[in-house]
Amino acid sequence: MNQEQIYIDGAWTPAGGTALTPVTDSWTEQPFAAYRSACAADVDRAVRAARRAFGTWSATPVAERAAVVRRIAAALRERGDELTRVISREVGMPAKLAARIQVGAPIAAWDAYARLADEVEWETRLGHSLVQQVPVGVVACITPWNYPLHQVTAKVAPALLAGCTVVLKPSELAPSSAFLLAQAIEQAGVPAGVFNLVHGTGPEVGEALVRHAEVDMVSFTGSTRAGRHIAALAGQDVKRVALELGGKSAALVLPGADLGAAVKATLAGCFLNSGQTCSATTRLLVPRDQYERAAALLREGAAGYRMGDPADGATRLGPLISAAQRQRVLGLVEQALGEGATRLSPDVALPPHGFFVAPTVLGNVRPDSAIAQEEVFGPVLVLLPYEGVEEGVALANGTAYGLAASVWGPTPAAALAVARRLRAGQVDVNGAPFNSAAPFGGFGQSGLGRENGRHGLEEFLEPVSIQMPPAYFDTPSTNQE
């Protein structure tokens, strides 16, 4: 399938770029689609369409904006099977998981954002001031390939509800769900210019968006390296920036905790989406006297992750998204082994094709080594021992990142006491489940700002203080019209 069109100002229009970028099936290693890139003129048209639409859309009653968001959710739900199929092919997540995590959860999030319309205090009184929450303006949303619809939803849904207008540039490696979203938005009757879609690479199309003078805010999810560059470019015009970047999350097991449960959950968190998750728990920290037992449990647990066709219901670990990503992951593993790390996971045969990396657990790793400090973005877990809780906390906090963590203790209260000391944006205690309404984001090189729920909506709002004569509030409401 070759897709030559982009969506600008409420209409499908031919993309003006010369590049036709293939989209590869991560299992067959063969292209199954291609998308033509936008050109600089396309980006300019998209941003100017968003600017023209902003005045009317931002003045549309919140209830009407929420109704539009609900219609988008309904239109996406009609495309659920197709979304699952294309995302699983692009990213490699087993289809049975993709249906729930990559598709079901984002669609539910559209409905959840619509419900927030009734919960947000859009105008409040503070002394003799009225404090309004107003949309920030035209937003450039630049999203990654690992959770394509999820990350688009975390930006576009709250931005639209807030009253912002949007230009979306999805990853060129996994653009198909964004194309289906644009179809759903058209079906939902979103006014022209409120949502616009352009395809292309970050250095060309993404950078043109960030640099555009009519863009008020940039919301980006991706690598820390790219996030630094975007922040520097946006800073030249003092644009508002939200950055959700990398992570090197730790699972800290305290003395007396259920080691078996901690190992099982940490492996699941590390190997989900073949490790292609920014918040993946990729470091397991255990008391030194529990190291050998943890190693045995990890070896046994890793052996249960069957690789294969993502469409096969028995597959637990799919391929990575590309040959380049596979090579990067394997390079970091080989570097670690060359530095003295040992492979704790069993040797297994890889499928005959697909961009696979076997589920990998490494021991005898230095805490300051690259494999323990850098985001790998593959199914690779490192096991690190510690002496005493103080050292465990220091190790957990001992990277440049601070996106996520988990703590396992003999009681929830004991784990909570340590969780409060971790510099991470979200910390799970004793296997507590993910909360999509809670703020998601991190410290340090994990980025700026928060996504999800009310906090994610507030990223796209600006508070405006209107000072009124104090007597204004003392007059009857009929005189305040």
Any idea which residues carry the catalytic annotation? Answer: 244, 278
Q: What is the DSSP letter of 36?
A: E
Q: Are 110 and 69 in contact (CB under 8 A)?
A: yes
- How does DSSP assign 221-269, residue by residue? ES-HHHHHHHHHHHHTTT-EEEEE----EEEEEPTTS-HHHHHHHHHHH
Phi, then psi, of 169 in degrees rounded to 5: -120, 105
Pairing of strands 20-24, 447-448: unpaired
Phi, then psi, of 303 in degrees rounded to 5: -65, -20
| Cβ neighbourhood burial of 396 (10 Å; 0-12, 13-18, 19+) | buried
Cα–Cα distance between 439 and 453 in angstroms, integer?
A: 7
In what side-by-side order are the strands of the sheet with 2-3? Answer: 2-3, 31-36, 20-24
AA letter at 275? G
Distance between first and last Cα of the chain: 57
**Which of 367, 363, 408, 371 shows the shortest CA–CA distance to 389?**
408
Cα–Cα distance between 349 and 307 in angstroms, integer?
A: 9
- How does DSSP assign 350-369, residue by residue? PPSSSS----EEEES--TTS
Q: Are 322 and 173 in contact (CB under 8 A)?
A: yes
Provide the angle, in degrees to the nearest 10, between the axes of the packed helices 62-78 and 80-91.
70
AA letter at 348? V
